[in-house]
Every structure is written in structure tokens, then in C-alpha cells.
């Protein structure tokens, strides 16, 4: 039987990149990647624990994987990532899973697989202070090959009270800058035109060794210097750490895309303190002002949580008014979901009734919809440089790609994916700019 591995990825972009690291490790041990569950001898799910509904979905998938095991004895099922880290033995106890590996244990996968093949379910959820998989060249999953993600750090030291990430991904570690720049060079040479530097909090990237110290602004500059034809993006920024130095580097390089994802979570100082975010509303608004001044036209997106512990109508209105004031291009908006073991779960009751959370979330979504419509419509008449990603989902013969400020553009063109084109914006929806190619 051929060694074929199928891998499903849930959650954040970091997980997509981790799946690519996993494939790279497995390929070295004789595994080949397959796209159909039915063909696989090893089924892996790289999981997310950020909200309860993410985990519930994965439990549903585990049932489907189990059907494959029953149909085809010998098939192994492995759960990787954050849910593996959080639930550990509970996953093996379900009797439906053979391998459990946390985010820092992927190098041990071949060993765990071998043990599982011999009938010994394998588990490793030890978190590391050093592991960055710096020397592993990820096997790219995205076939279009136009853009790629590069993990520049792992883990998180912030300990926001609602968040499970510090427990599932461990402490913050920055990856050696030389390996990041080399990976960007290699990607560019293989035809990739856009890289996104990834970390839970890229602004606290810091590499120190023998007199050398590289912060995120310096790293970003080094990656931008790989080639003016390589676009560089990054995510996620943290409001108390995003520096003027970084904004100045962004402004200096045309190929650093003008977009910042700056999660605010709440507009209420009382909530921000309870969430243990390390900024308040006025600090956040000052940073937004600095972005607008130093990086004109910069796209700004955010994350918002509705209904955190003890949130009142007044707190909620503070969130709405902040969103009104900032005017984000788009946002990821969530209801608070209590995660076992977090500071909030241990210290504060999850006391906003579900129907109130839903209503507040809907108000947040409605407001954002209106803002997105305004922000996108404001681009009508402007010219943008777009990197073509491929055919548009809708519209015969049309292609799509993003502008520097991260807005999705759709237009008719006979140019190939990976080409930069100048377009004029002629119309807009709340999530797309309708454009015409400038000949
Ligand atoms: N409940 C709801 N949303 C959460 N997020 C993180 N933890 C929770 C939680 N317990 C959201 C935050 C974060 C994004 C990745 O997910 O907005 O920025
Ligand atoms: Fe989900 Fe957070 Fe883990 Fe990413 S780091 S997979 S978003 S819990």
C-alpha cells in the first residue's frame, strides 16, 4: 500500500503554514500528499480551539474519518494543532484517533505514525521554548503559487484573558531572520509574487544573538529588499506594540502592502482592561491616527468580540462608536466563547445571555457592513495596482486579485495569475472593487 497522507486545516493562516511544515516532514519519510480522503492511508486534521464552534465542527469531522477507518482497516487518523494540545488524551480516549500531536511536536510525527501502525496510539503535546521549524522548507499547498505564507514566530506572550492560544501554542519564539529572508528568496525564485509574514503578534518579533538584534521593522525591510517585484504583507499586529518605525518602513517601500490588521476586540476601556489587552481606547485611536498619517491610504481591518464577561449596553455602544470612528474596511466579528482554562474562564462568569450576544453581534455586523460599503465605494475612480491571483469566482473571463490595501478587485483581463496590472475602480460592493484594466 502506498503511503498517502490527506490533511485538512482549520483555523488561522498559521495553521495553513504548519500543515505545509507537516507535509515537508512527512515527504522526507516517504509520504505523498493526496487530495481525496478516500485515497488516504493517513488522515490528518490540523485543528483550531479558538472558539467552541471550531472544536465542535472538528468532532463532527472525526466521526467521518472514523467511517474511513471502519471501511478500510489500517487507515490512521491523526489530530494535530491547537485542539490536540488542549484535549490531549481525551482525543485518544474517543477510540477514533490514533495520533495526537501538538504544534511543537511535528518533527516526531514519523515516529508517532510508526508506533500507531504497530497498534500503539501515539501522543506528543510537549510545548517547546525553542522550536520554530526554521530549517524546514514548507511544501506549498496553494497550487496557484502566487502567494505564500512565512511563519516568522510561534506562540504568544500576551495572555489576553479570553484567549486559549498561549496555552495551545506556548510561549513566543522568533525565528532566525536569515532563514526567513532565504525562504522569501527561494519563494520568489520559484515564481511566488507575494509573501505574508505570520505571527500571533508580529510587532514583538525580536531576534537577538551575539550583538545582533533584529526587530520586526528591520525584518520587514530585509524581506522587502528581496525584490521590488515581491509584495510583502504581514499579520497580525498588536495595538500597543505597533511602532512608528514600522509605519515608516511601510511607507518607504512600494512593495510592502499598505494594509494592517489591528484587532481592537472592544471599544470599552473597562472591557479592554478585563480582557488584559495592553492598551486603552485612546491609545488605539492614536495608533490609527499615526497609521493614517504615516501610511496614507492604508487598509485597516480588525477583530471584534461581542458579549465578553459582564459587558453592558454602554460597553457595547463604546465598541459601536469606535468602529464608527475608525471606519474599518472589513472585520472579523465574533461572539465571546468561553475557553476552559483561560484567565476569563477561571475568574469571570460568562454572564451575557446568548440572545444578547447574538443581538449585539448583529448590530456590530450591520454597522461594519455599512462602513465596508462606504469604504469600498470611496475607492471608485481611483487607480490600483493589483496582483492577479486567478479566475474570479463569478464572471466569465474575469480575474481577481488584491489591491495593495487588501481590497479584492475583479476585472476582465487576459493576463496570467502572478501578473501585476494597473486598474481603475468603476464600481464597488461591500467586499469587492469592480475594476477595468488600464491598457
Ligand atoms: N471568543 C471569541 N472570540 C475569540 N477570539 C479569540 N478568542 C476568542 C474567544 N474566546 C477572536 C479574537 C482574536 C481572533 C483571532 O479570534 O477576536 O483576535
Ligand atoms: Fe485557532 Fe488560535 Fe490555534 Fe490558530 S493559534 S489554530 S486561531 S486557536
| Ligand 2 pocket, mutate which of 18, 82, 164 (most atoms under 8 A from CB) | 82
- Where does the chain hold its CATH 3.30.750.210 domain(s)? 142-257
Residue 424 pLDDT: 98
Residue 302 pLDDT: 98
Task: Please count the other Cβ atoms lying within 10 Å of the Cβ belonging to residue 40.
Answer: 22
User: What are the pLDDT digits (tens) for 239-293?
Assistant: 999 999 999 999 999 999 999 999 999 999 999 999 999 999 999 999 999 999 9
48 lines ligand 2 (CB under 6 A): yes
Alpha-carbon span 146 to 144, nearest angstrom: 6
303 lines ligand 1 (CB under 6 A): yes
Specify the pairing of strand 99-101 against strand 398-403.
unpaired
Burial, 26: exposed, middle or buried (Cβ in 10 Å; 0-12, 13-18, 19+)?
buried
Percent of the chain predicted with pLDDT > 90: 95
50 lines ligand 2 (CB under 6 A): yes
Mean pLDDT computed over 77-106: 96
Q: Given 3.30.460, 2.40.50, 1.10.3470, 1.10.1760, which CATH number is that of 383-437?
A: 2.40.50
CA 10 to ligand 2 centroid distance, Å: 8
342 lines ligand 2 (CB under 6 A): no
User: What are the pLDDT digits (tens) for 62-72?
Assistant: 999 999 999 99
| Residue recorded with cell 497498534 | 119
CA 373 to ligand 2 centroid distance, Å: 29
Alpha-carbon span 356 to 420, nearest angstrom: 46
Query: What string of DSSP letters covers 89-121?
Result: HHHHHTTS-SEEE-TT-GGGHHHHHHHHHTT--
| Ligand 2 pocket, mutate which of 52, 81, 163 (most atoms under 8 A from CB) | 81
Atom of ligand 2 nearest to the CA of 14: 4
Q: Which residue, judged by its Cα, is nearest atom 5 of ligand 2?
A: 165
Mean pLDDT computed over 368-373: 98
12 lines ligand 2 (CB under 6 A): yes
User: What are the pLDDT digits (tens) for 141-192?
Assistant: 876 689 999 999 999 999 899 999 999 999 999 999 999 999 999 999 999 9
Are 234 and 226 within 8 A, CB to CB? no
The length of the chain is: 439
pLDDT at 413 over 80: yes
Domain made up of 142-257: CATH architecture = 2-Layer Sandwich (3.30)
Confidence band (pLDDT; 50, 70, 90) for 2? confident
Confidence band (pLDDT; 50, 70, 90) for 83? very high
CATH topology of domain 4-124: Rossmann fold (3.40.50)
In 3-state terms, what secondary structure has residue 395? coil
CA 159 to ligand 2 centroid distance, Å: 14
Task: Please count the other Cβ atoms lying within 10 Å of the Cβ belonging to residue 122.
Answer: 22
User: What are the pLDDT digits (tens) for 322-363?
Assistant: 999 999 999 999 999 999 999 999 999 999 999 999 999 999
- Where does the chain hold its CATH 3.40.50.12160 domain(s)? 4-124
Residue 394 pLDDT: 79
φ/ψ region of 310 (left if φ > 0, alpha if ψ in -120 to 50, else beta) reads left
pLDDT at 1 over 70: no
Domain made up of 261-378: CATH architecture = 2-Layer Sandwich (3.30)
Query: What string of DSSP letters covers 31-42?
Result: -EE-S-GGG-SE
pLDDT at 426 over 90: yes
16 lines ligand 2 (CB under 6 A): no
Are 116 and 76 within 8 A, CB to CB? yes
Alpha-carbon span 23 to 109, nearest angstrom: 10
What is the average pLDDT score of the chain? 96
pLDDT at 121 over 80: yes
Closest listed ligand to the CA of 303: 1
Q: Provide long-range contacts, Cβ within 8 A and 24+ apart, for 59-66.
A: 61/8, 62/94, 62/96, 62/97, 63/96, 64/37, 65/37, 65/96, 66/96
49 lines ligand 2 (CB under 6 A): yes
Amino acid at each position: 500500500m502506498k503511503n498517502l497522507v490527506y490533511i485538512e486545516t482549520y483555523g488561522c493562516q498559521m495553521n495553513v503554514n504548519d500543515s505545509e511544515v507537516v507535509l515537508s516532514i512527512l515527504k522526507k519519510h516517504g509520504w505523498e500528499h493526496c487530495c481525496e480522503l478516500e485515497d488516504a492511508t493517513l488522515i490528518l486534521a490540523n485543528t483550531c480551539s479558538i472558539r467552541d464552534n471550531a472544536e465542535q465542527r472538528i468532532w463532527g469531522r472525526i466521526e467521518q474519518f472514523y467511517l474511513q477507518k471502519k471501511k478500510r482497516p489500517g487507515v490512521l487518523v491523526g489530530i494535530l494543532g491547537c485542539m490536540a494540545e488542549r484535549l490531549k488524551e481525551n482525543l485518544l480516549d474517543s477510540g477514533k484517533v490514533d495520533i495526537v500531536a501538538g504544534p511543537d511536536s511535528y518533527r516526531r510525527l514519523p515516529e508517532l505514525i510508526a508506533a500507531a501502525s504497530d497498534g500503539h496510539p501515539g501522543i506528543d503535546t510537549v510545548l517547546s521554548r525553542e522550536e520554530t521549524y526554521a530549517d524546514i522548507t514548507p511544501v506549498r499547498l496553494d497550487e496557484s503559487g502566487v502567494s505564500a505564507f512565512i511563519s516568522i514566530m510561534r506562540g504568544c506572550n500576551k495572555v489576553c484573558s479570553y484567549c486559549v492560544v498561549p496555552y495551545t501554542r506556548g510561549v513566543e519564539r522568533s525565528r532566525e531572520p536569515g532563514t526567513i529572508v532565504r525562504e522569501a528568496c527561494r519563494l520568489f525564485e520559484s515564481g511566488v509574487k507575494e509573501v505574508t509574514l505570520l505571527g500571533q503578534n508580529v510587532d514583538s518579533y525580536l531576534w537577538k544573538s551575539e550583538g545582533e538584534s533584529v526587530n520586526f521593522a528591520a525584518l520587514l525591510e530585509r524581506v522587502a529588499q528581496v525584490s521590488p517585484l515581491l509584495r510583502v504583507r504581514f499579520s497580525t499586529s498588536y495595538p500597543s506594540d505597533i511602532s512608528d518605525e514600522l509605519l515608516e518602513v511601510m511607507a518607504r517601500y512600494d512593495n510592502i502592502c499598505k494594509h494592517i490588521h489591528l484587532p481592537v476586540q472592544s471599544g470599552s476601556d473597562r472591557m479592554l482592561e478585563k480582557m488584559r489587552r495592553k492598551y486603552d481606547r485612546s491609545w488605539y485611536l492614536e495608533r490609527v491616527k499615526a497609521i493614517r498619517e504615516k501610511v496614507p491610504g492604508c487598509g485597516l481591518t480588525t477583530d471584534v468580540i461581542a458579549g465578553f464577561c459582564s459587558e453592558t449596553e454602554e460597553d457595547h455602544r463604546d465598541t459601536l462608536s469606535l468602529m464608527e470612528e475608525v471606519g474599518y474596511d472589513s472585520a472579523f466579528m465574533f461572539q465571546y466563547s468561553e475557553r476552559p482554562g483561560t484567565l476569563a474562564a477561571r475568574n469571570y462568569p460568562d454572564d451575557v445571555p446568548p440572545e444578547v450576544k447574538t443581538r449585539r453581534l448583529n448590530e456590530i455586523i450591520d454597522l461594519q457592513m455599512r462602513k465596508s460599503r462606504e469604504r469600498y465605494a470611496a475607492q471608485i475612480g481611483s487607480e490600483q495596482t493589483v496582483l492577479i491571483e486567478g479566475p474570479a469566482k463569478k464572471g466569465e473571463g474575469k480575474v481577481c486579485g488584491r489591491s495593495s490595501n487588501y481590497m479584492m478587485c475583479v476585472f476582465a483581463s487576459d493576463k496570467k495569475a502572478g501578473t501585476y496590472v494597473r486598474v481603475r475602480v468603476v464600481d464597488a460592493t461591500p467586499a469587492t472593487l469592480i475594476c477595468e484594466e488600464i491598457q
